[in-house]
């Protein structure tokens, strides 16, 4: 009977070359990237990180995603527009959306264009989110007003959106 250590070495010899070959094959990297893109849009840098995390080299990931971008299969503008609409439907504000897109490596100009093109009335969205969470009555006590304002701030609304959302009708 063989000892467990020699069995592990035998298994490593049997399976390691295939794994190494798979992760050094640009076709496999492209296939994996296409699998990701089939599920949802990804930003350029986000897709590179995703491939690198899956085991493909950074240089290969960058090259594969560059080709996908050149072929029109990966597009930061399209990703950004989709992302903005998704976050708006979740009730997120422009500050939070900008921050999330910055973390995903999307350029500020593309983000600004997508937010502008969304043509969202942030004041109404903030008000609707506050009403959905806390009810139609505006807060009378300072403590409750501060709690609602913190909630909207966490959601990513700007201060003027928040102020308008918690303002009583006669406070204009």
Q: Are residues 33 and 58 in the same domain?
A: yes
pLDDT at 9: 55
Claim to verify: residue 8 and residue 61 sit in the same structural domain: yes
Same domain for 20 and 48, yes or no, is yes
Rounded to whole angstroms, the Cα distance separating 164 from 121 reads 12
Tens digit of pLDDT per residue, the chain (172 long)?
Answer: 455 555 455 455 555 455 557 778 889 999 999 999 999 999 999 999 999 999 998 999 999 999 999 999 999 999 999 999 999 999 999 999 999 999 999 999 999 999 999 999 999 999 999 999 999 998 889 999 999 999 999 999 999 999 999 985 445 4
43 & 81 share domain: no
d(CA 61, CA 47): 8
For residue 159, give the CATH number of its domain.
Answer: 1.10.10.10
Residues 8 and 57 in one domain: yes
Q: Which two tokens stand for residue 75?
A: 């597009």
Same domain assignment for residues 49 and 10: yes
Q: How far apart are CA 23 and CA 7, in angstroms?
A: 24
Whether residue 13 is found in the same domain as residue 64 = yes
18 and 52 share one domain: yes
162 with 135, same domain: the answer is yes
Structural domain containing residue 92:
76-118
Query: What separation, in Å, do the N-terminal and C-terminal C-alpha atoms of the chain show?
Result: 86
Q: How many CB atoms lie within 10 A of CB 76?
A: 24
What's the number of domains the chain is made of? 3
What confidence score (pLDDT) does residue 138 get?
Answer: 87
The domain that holds 85 is classified in CATH as 1.10.10
Pair (16, 58) in one structural domain: yes
142 and 105 in one domain? no
């Amino acid at each position: 009977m063989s000892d467990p250590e020699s069995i592990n070495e035998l298994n490593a010899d049997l399976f390691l070359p295939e794994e190494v070959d798979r992760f050094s094959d640009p076709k496999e990297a492209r296939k994996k990237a296409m699998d990701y893109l089939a599920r949802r849009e990804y930003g350029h840098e986000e897709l590179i990180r995703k491939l690198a995390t899956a085991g493909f080299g950074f240089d290969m990931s960058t090259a594969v995603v560059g080709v996908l971008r050149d072929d029109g299969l990966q597009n930061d503008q399209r990703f950004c527009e989709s992302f903005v609409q998704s976050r708006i439907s979740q009730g997120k504000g422009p500050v939070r959306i900008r921050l999330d897109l910055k973390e995903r490596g999307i350029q500020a100009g593309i983000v600004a264009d997508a937010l502008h093109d969304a043509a969202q009335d942030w004041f109404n969205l903030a008000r609707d989110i506050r009403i959905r969470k806390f009810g139609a009555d505006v807060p009378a006590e300072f403590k409750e007003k501060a709690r609602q304002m913190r909630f909207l701030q966490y959601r990513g609304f700007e201060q003027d959106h928040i102020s308008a959302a918690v303002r009583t009708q006669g406070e204009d």
